[in-house]
């Protein structure tokens, strides 16, 4: 039997009784487009891409991959899903109180 727990509150989730939500996230480095040079006609763009991919494959440091791309998956219970949906980035919510001027 597969056992699920909420990744936020660590509560055990019974697959028969509890509704479980799955959150999937992709985090990747944003690269700004390079301004094209005027004399681009003789460049082999496919070869440049191949060279970059080969350098990434040859890199010994596993951290390089996580800096460029990460795929995450979380199981949430209904209560934690509500909290997550209201504040997915985990920012502190500051309540602004409006006082009247007396």
Entry pTM? 0.59
**pLDDT tens digit sequence for 58-80:** 655 555 577 788 899 999 999 99
- Coil vs helix vs strand at 17: coil
Every domain of the chain and the residues it spans: 4-30+41-86
pLDDT of residue 11: 95
Band (pLDDT 50/70/90 cuts) for residue 7 is very high
Who's near 21: CB < 8 A, 6+ residues apart?
75, 76, 77, 78, 81
**pLDDT tens digit sequence for 9-44:** 999 998 888 899 999 999 888 877 766 666 666 778
pLDDT of residue 76: 96
């Amino acid at each position: 039997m597969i056992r699920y727990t909420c990744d936020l509150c660590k509560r055990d989730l019974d697959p028969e009784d509890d509704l479980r939500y799955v959150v999937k996230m992709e985090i990747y480095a944003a690269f700004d487009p390079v301004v094209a040079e005027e004399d681009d006609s003789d460049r082999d763009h496919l070869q440049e891409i191949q060279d970059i991919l080969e350098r990434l494959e040859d890199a010994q440091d596993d951290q390089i991959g996580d800096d460029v791309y990460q795929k995450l998956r979380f199981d949430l219970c209904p209560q934690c899903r509500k909290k997550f949906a209201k504040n997915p980035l985990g920012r502190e919510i500051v309540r602004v109180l409006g006082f009247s001027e007396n």
